[in-house]
Structure formats: structure tokens, C-alpha cells
């Protein structure tokens, strides 16, 4: 996940930035480094923290995994903006700026925001007010930093969702999107909330609410700010920003040249998806997307079984192999088998660019999920889903199918995911009850059946409950005989064309005195034995991502309630390198 770090000091900000970067996890990053001094701004791009050849009072560091998108721009040598996340209403703001005389060739979202700040600053001659007014006009899920080149005495940071932490010591003030990067230099940290902005100078921090009014913030002990008890908890919480960044990369056409090739009209007649474990559930979900959006036939195979089929190789087939590590032995063997059988166009979706799977495939699509410290798949699963959704969109675009409605859903996803995370207290109540059972069914229909399978796998992996995923319509064919007061059913119930049928399925469960737990995007009343949590706004195609994250949170909370060690589940390995 990308990281934003900034500092302003009375003499040299480099010490604060360098100390922050020394706290980074041991993994490769691309650095975009900003030095500001005496009305000058220098920007450096590097693979490691650059050693400046002079002191400077103001600095920023943008760290990411994608070297093509630093989220940094210096607009017309006047306004510098660093963006972390996704701007939702880019086109609307661009249209306004064009009418005001700004170039319609504004490219990245950070350029659009910088131009908007520049316009407000020209009107009001007040840079702090300009940042506040621009922020009020923006929609999305992002954090930003801003500097005015002609006045580097102040550094501004603001957020529309992601966490931003601010600290102060005798050297100056600093902020970061990850509290771990600054807590060693500040004993107390301030956390900005959605819509808030801070003005920093070497000796003072001023915070403002979403209306631009001064707001006094109570600092937190540094050790408590941004702290998570478990890696799985941190990985789940990281997903709104992570998905926002991935969407931003996609909309900037900076994820994969292959995606743009698809959109240009590369025609395929069918798609074959190869994967194992959680990745297979992502593939099964993508099968629905590709058939619905791109109108192509899809075949989804377990990688471990694919090698032993009598293959019929059909021309113009796109083969997609999915593995977060890129080292899953079954998936590598399946892709090799497909290539040897004569399939020429192969795509690897993975989190590791140097992996065996990436090198074996003709094309690559990186997830940019960062290191997943927990043993069970959370953020790597959601980024797999999103990458596969991108493929479905581009396959459709290549066939000249209108994708405007499907693509528009991406803009609403990060905030919807954040809203799901806000359901933690309600899900915790469910977890306290589910922690007492040893058997459990999870059901979904259509797009949500693979999500029920993934939810069941999560329950097995971390809570050690015997959980089974089923299509809602299949519960009556056998499983219904096992349902009673001690075997509850958890259901995905988005209010769509399948909702009435799912309610009928749940009536069969109710008739056998089975307890029912329902996730739905409509307000259903909870009564004894029927418990409902209302999900955020409906995203007809991307709903599976929202339900996935709700189930991740439920599995985590259930495991905690059972006293399990969620980060090191028994008998579970992160990467399976044996067939």
C-alpha cells in the first residue's frame, strides 16, 4: 500500500523524513521525494530514500509499489499536491476547471486537485482557505498534502477517509498515513478525521473541521495511535485505501499495458481461469463478471485438477492464472500445462512481479496489495477481485460494449468498503453467538455463491468452525437435513432479482428452527432467530467485494471470540509450493 509522509522543521526536515522511512517494512518501494526551501521545490524519483545534498525545511515522501504513479504533481510551478487514494468526481471538477480557462488536458487526479486549489488561491489570496474549499468540492477516498511554492512556511495535509497522523517534537512537525513511521519521534499524535485539514509549521499545528472552522484535537499516546492487535486486523482495515489506490492506478491506465491492449480491441472468444484456494473463489466470481459485462463464455478450473483433464484447446482463448504469491505449485503446473497444450495468450494476476507465475505468463497484472502479514488471505483476495473486474471491463471495451455503468461503480467502492468496516460492533455481536457453534452454513446466490465459499474457508481457517458454503437454491438438496438450533445459516441477501428466491430458501431454514444471520442492503427487521445487519449502498456488480470484507471481519471477530491465534492458524501455510 502506498504511504504519504511529510515534515516541516525549523532547520532541516530530512532527519524527520529519514527516521520515518527507516521504520518501513523490509520490502521494495518507489520513492518520490520533495524538498521545499526558499520558494523552491525539487522533486526526486528513486528506488531508495535519496540522500539530499543540502538542508531543507519542508519535505514530503510518497512511497509506493508502482513506479509510474507517485501521486505527486507540481502544478504550473505554483502548487504542489501529493495524493494518496482515489478522487471520485474527477470529470466533474475537470469540466468546471475547463470552463474557468484551465487546460482540458489535466491528466492525473492530483493535477485536477492542484488546479482547483490554484484557482481558489487566485480568487481568495489565501492558500489555507483554498485547500479547504477544494477539499469540500472533492468526493472520494483519499488523503493529500499541499505546498504553495511561493510560501513554504506552511505545510498542509487533509483527509477524506484514510487515517492521517500528526506529531510534533523539538525539531518540528511531521505527519504520516501510517502512525508507525512517526511514533518514534513523537510521544503524542493527533489523528485527522474525514473532512479535516491541518496547517503545520515548525512550531505549531492548527486543525480545521470540514467547514473550515478551527478544531481542537486531543492527542493520543503514540503507541496507541493506528495500533492493531493482529496482522489480520490491520490487513482488513487497509482495504479501503488499498482499493482506492488500485482504482486510481487503473483509471490512470498505469496498471498493465495488457489491459489497454484489451481495450484497443484484442478479441478473445472465451476465457479460462486457473486458480487454487481463495484465488479460485475470486476466479469463480470473475466468471460471472466476464460473462455479464464482456458477454464471453468462461470456464473456471481448480488448478490442481486441470492438468489431469483431456484438454480441448480452442483458439482465441485467454488463459488467466491467479495466485497472490505467484509461487503456488498447482497453479504454476496448470499454467505450464495450458501453454504446452497450445494456449498462447496467458495472463498472470499476482502480488509479486518477480514470481515464477509472472515470468511464465505472456502478460502480467500486478495487485499492488503490499505484504500481507496474516497467514489467511484478506487484502490480497479483494485486490484479486478488483483486478479481475478490470479485466472484465477491458474485455468488454475491446468488444465495443458500453461499460460506463459498470465502470462507474468503481468510484463508489472505497467509501462503501469503509462503511462495511464501520459495521464491526454489529458483527462482533454475531461473532459472540457464532463462536459457540461447531457447524455453520454460509449461502449466497449468483455472484455471491463464490463469496459464500470464501467466507466458509475463512471461518475454517481462523475460527476452526466446520463451515460449508452453498448456493442458496441447493440448501434444500441435502444440507437442509443437518439444519437445527445448533447449526446456523449466514446468508448474503442483496436486494436484487434473486432476493425473493433467497428469502424462500431461508424460510426452509426457519421451518427447521435454524438460526439465520443475514447481510442485506435493505432494512430487514431482526427478530428472535433471524438477525440482520444492513450493508452499505448497493453496488450491483461490485457487491461481492463488500460482502467479502464483511465476512473477513466476521471470521476474524469469531476467531478472537473463540480465543484463537488468527495470525498463525494451525496447519496453514501462506504459500503452498507442493502439488
CA distances from 79 to 36, 106, 123, 210, 374 (A): 12, 14, 14, 21, 40
Task: Indicate the CATH number for domain 422-566.
Answer: 3.40.50.10490
CA distance 46 to 215: 37
pLDDT at 66: 67
Q: Is 377 helix (H, G, I), strand (E, B) or coil?
A: coil
Residues 215 and 209 sit within 8 Å (Cβ to Cβ): yes
- Choose the CATH number for 3-221 among 3.60.20.10, 3.20.10.10, 3.40.50.2300, 3.10.50.30: 3.60.20.10
Kindly report the CA angle at 120 between 36 and 194, in degrees rounded to 5?
80
Q: Is 133 helix (H, G, I), strand (E, B) or coil?
A: helix
Q: What does R_g of the chain's alpha carbons equal in angstroms?
A: 25
Establish whether domains 228-418 and 422-566 are of one fold.
yes
Q: Is 394 helix (H, G, I), strand (E, B) or coil?
A: helix
Class of domain 228-418: alpha beta
Give residue-wise pLDDT tens across range 69-85.
Answer: 678 899 999 999 999 99
Give residue-wise pLDDT tens across range 509-525.
Answer: 888 878 999 999 988 88
CA distance 535 to 549: 11
Query: For the chain, what are the domain ranges?
Result: 3-221, 228-418, 422-566
Q: What is the pLDDT along the chain (579 residues), one digit of tens a residue?
A: 689 999 999 888 888 888 888 887 767 677 788 888 777 888 888 777 766 667 788 989 887 766 666 788 999 999 999 999 999 999 999 999 999 998 767 778 999 999 999 999 999 999 999 999 999 999 999 999 999 999 889 999 999 999 999 999 998 999 999 999 999 889 999 999 999 999 999 999 999 999 999 999 999 999 888 889 999 999 999 999 999 999 998 988 888 889 988 888 778 999 999 999 999 999 999 999 999 999 999 999 999 999 888 778 888 999 999 999 999 999 999 999 999 999 999 999 999 989 999 999 999 999 999 888 888 999 999 999 999 999 999 999 999 999 999 999 999 999 999 999 999 999 999 999 999 999 999 999 999 999 999 999 999 999 999 999 999 988 888 888 888 889 999 999 999 888 888 888 888 888 887 899 999 998 888 777 889 999 997 899 999 999 999 999 999 999 999 999 999 888 776 555 555
Q: Is 83 helix (H, G, I), strand (E, B) or coil?
A: strand
CA distance 206 to 198: 5
Residues 273-309: b if buried by 16+ CB within 10 A, e if exposed: bbbbbbbbbbbbbbbbbbebbbebebebbebbebbee
Q: Which residues are paired to 42 by β-bridges? A: 35
Give the global pTM: 0.93
Q: Which residues contact 525 (CB under 8 A, 6 or more apart)?
A: 532
pLDDT at 142: 97
Q: Which residues contact 95 (CB under 8 A, 6 or more apart)?
A: none
CA distance 234 to 411: 23
Amino acid at each position: 500500500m502506498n504511504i504519504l509522509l511529510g515534515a516541516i522543521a525549523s532547520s532541516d526536515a530530512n532527519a524527520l523524513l529519514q527516521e520515518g522511512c527507516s521504520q518501513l517494512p523490509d520490502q521494495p518501494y518507489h520513492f518520490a521525494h520533495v524538498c521545499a526551501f526558499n520558494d523552491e521545490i525539487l522533486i526526486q524519483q528513486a528506488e531508495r530514500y535519496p540522500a539530499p545534498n543540502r538542508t531543507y525545511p519542508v519535505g514530503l515522501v510518497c512511497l509506493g509499489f508502482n513506479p509510474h504513479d507517485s501521486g505527486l504533481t507540481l502544478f504550473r510551478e505554483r502548487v504542489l499536491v501529493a495524493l494518496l487514494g482515489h478522487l471520485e468526481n474527477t470529470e466533474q471538477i475537470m469540466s468546471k476547471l475547463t470552463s474557468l480557462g484551465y487546460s482540458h488536458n489535466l491528466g492525473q487526479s492530483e493535477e485536477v486537485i492542484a488546479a482547483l486549489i490554484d484557482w481558489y488561491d487566485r480568487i481568495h489570496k489565501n492558500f489555507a482557505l483554498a485547500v479547504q474549499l477544494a477539499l469540500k468540492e472533492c468526493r472520494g477516498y483519499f488523503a493529500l498534502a499541499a505546498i504553495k511554492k511561493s510560501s513554504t512556511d506552511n505545510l498542509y495535509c487533509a483527509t477524506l477517509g484514510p487515517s492521517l497522523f500528526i506529531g510534533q517534537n523539538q525539531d518540528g512537525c511531521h505527519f504520516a498515513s501510517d502512525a508507525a513511521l512517526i511514533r518514534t519521534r513523537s510521544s503524542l499524535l493527533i489523528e485527522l478525521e474525514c473532512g479535516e485539514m491541518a496547517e503545520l509549521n515548525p512550531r505549531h499545528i492548527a486543525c480545521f473541521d470540514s467547514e473550515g472552522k478551527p478544531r481542537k484535537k486531543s492527542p493520543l499516546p503514540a503507541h496507541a495511535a493506528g495500533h492493531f492487535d493482529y496482522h489480520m486486523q490491520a490487513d482488513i482495515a487497509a482495504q479501503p485505501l488499498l482499493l482506492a489506490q488500485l482504482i486510481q492506478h487503473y483509471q490512470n491506465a498505469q496498471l498493465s499495458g495488457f489491459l489497454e491492449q484489451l481495450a484497443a480491441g484484442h478479441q478473445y472468444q472465451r476465457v479460462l481461469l486457473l486458480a487454487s484456494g481463495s484465488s479460485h473463489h475470486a476466479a469463480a466470481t470473475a466468471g460471472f463478471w466476464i460473462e455479464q459485462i464482456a458477454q464471453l463464455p468462461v470456464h473456471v478450473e481448480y488448478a490442481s485438477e486441470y492438468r489431469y483433464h483431456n484438454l480441448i484447446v480452442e483458439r482465441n482463448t485467454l488463459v488467466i492464472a491467479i495466485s497472490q504469491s505467484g509461487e503456488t505449485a498447482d497453479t504454476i503446473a496448470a499454467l505450464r500445462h495450458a501453454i504446452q497444450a497450445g494456449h498462447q495468450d496467458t495472463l498472470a494476476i499476482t502480488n509479486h512481479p518477480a514470481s515464477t507465475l509472472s515470468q511464465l505468463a505472456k502478460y502480467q497484472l500486478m495487485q499492488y496489495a503490499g505484504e500481507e502479514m496474516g497467514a489467511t488471505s484478506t487484502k490480497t483476495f479483494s485486490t484479486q477481485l478488483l483486478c479481475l473486474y478490470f479485466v472484465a471491463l477491458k474485455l468488454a471495451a475491446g468488444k465495443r460494449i458500453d461499460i460506463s455503468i459498470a465502470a462507474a461503480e468503481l468510484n463508489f467502492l472505497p467509501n462503501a468498503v469503509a462503511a462495511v468496516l464501520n459495521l464491526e460492533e454489529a458483527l462482533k455481536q454475531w461473532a459472540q453467538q457464532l463462536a459457540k457453534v461447531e457447524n455453520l452454513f454460509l449461502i449466497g446466490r449468483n455472484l455471491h455463491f463464490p463469496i459464500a465459499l470464501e467466507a466458509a474457508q475463512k471461518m475454517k481457517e481462523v475460527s476452526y468452525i466446520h463451515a460449508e458454503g452453498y448456493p442458496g437454491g441447493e440448501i434444500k438438496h441435502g444440507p437442509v437435513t443437518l439444519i437445527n438450533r445448533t447449526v446456523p445459516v449466514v446468508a448474503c441477501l442483496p436486494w436484487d432479482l434473486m432476493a425473493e428466491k433467497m428469502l424462500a430458501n431461508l424460510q426452509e431454514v426457519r421451518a427447521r428452527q435454524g438460526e439465520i444471520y443475514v447481510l442485506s442492503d435493505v432494512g430487514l427487521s431482526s427478530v428472535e432467530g433471524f438477525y440482520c445487519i444492513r450493508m452499505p449502498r448497493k453496488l450491483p456488480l461490485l457487491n461481492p467485494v463488500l460482502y467479502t470484507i464483511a465476512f473477513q471481519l466476521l471470521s476474524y471477530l469469531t476467531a478472537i471470540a473463540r480465543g484463537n491465534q488468527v495470525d498463525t492458524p494451525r496447519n496453514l501455510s501462506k504459500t503452498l509450493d507442493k502439488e
